[in-house]
Amino acid sequence: MNAIITATELASELAGGTPPVLLDVRYQLGGPPGRPVYEAGHLPGAVYVDLDSELAGAPGPAGRHPLPDLDVFAGAMRAAGVRADRPVVVYDGGQGWAAARAWWLLRWSGHPDVRVLDGGLAAWQAAGEGLSTDKEDPQAGDFTPAPGALPLLTADGAAALARRGVLLDARAGERYRGEVEPIDPVAGHIPGAVSAPTTENVAAGGTVFRDAAELAERFATLGATADAEVGVYCGSGVSAAHQVLALAVAGVPAALYVGSWSEWTADPARPVATGPQPG
């Protein structure tokens, strides 16, 4: 099953007999909040899900967006109408990072059929499809998380993977090199990690994924192939989820280090590399 869906394909499925559950996960680091823009216009039938409070736990030593409390996550998914036997499509404003986080969490917790709308709400509108301002009232779902369907890395696991496999750093290159660090307390990267900015997963200047063959070629040059052990991290486990999604499109399974750099640097004993090389 493809991990992404086009706006045209989604419109066709929504008109069919078993339409997917739609989740709106619009999010922007530092605001504004996603709910007001959701209420101003969303895909018909979509329910808003908040990344900070429903797709992540409270910030702390485990990172800025650690795993959510499973009961909170399960409650949010059931309130949104998510069922184990019904497909789910998630979208955001277009960047795809927040939608990918929702995709990863649902897949990791055992939902078998989750896709991301390629290009998000912008692609939906570009396809000539309309928005709704209705207050959605979905029938309660029955989804019960069963974690472990996708691989998950701890800090120690990420460090070990960087030595024996391929650990991709999905942040901007200047953050990887340690030239700047606008968010976390220390600049640099996990020793052994390879720079692989998430922004290169999409066509230049856009939000739509590059095709599967292009993505596979991109990741192969970084050593990330289907027969390699691959992991990904970023600042807080959000843009890295987009990288895991891109790898899935390319046919490469990958583990996510959810705590990412924000957890790594919370412990001053953990080593830090700088410069353009893995180190």
Q: Which residues are catalytic?
A: 234
Q: In terms of C-beta density within 10 A (0-12 exposed, 13-18 middle, 19 or more buried), how is residue 86 classed?
A: middle
Who's near 44: CB < 8 A, 6+ residues apart? 14, 130, 131, 132, 134
Q: Are 253 and 151 in contact, with CB atoms under 8 Å apart?
A: yes
**CA-to-CA separations, 184 to 8, 114, 193, 237, in angstroms, rounded:** 39, 31, 17, 13
195 to 170, 191, 232: CA distances (angstroms): 7, 11, 10
> DSSP letter string over 66-121?
-PPPHHHHHHHHHHTT--TTS-EEEE-SSS-HHHHHHHHHHHHTT-S-EEEETTHH
In order of 12, 158, 231, 244, 257, the CA distances from 151 in angstroms are 32, 12, 9, 10, 9
Tokens representing 248? 């899935």
3-state secondary structure of 245: helix
Calpha distance 23→45 (Å, rounded): 9
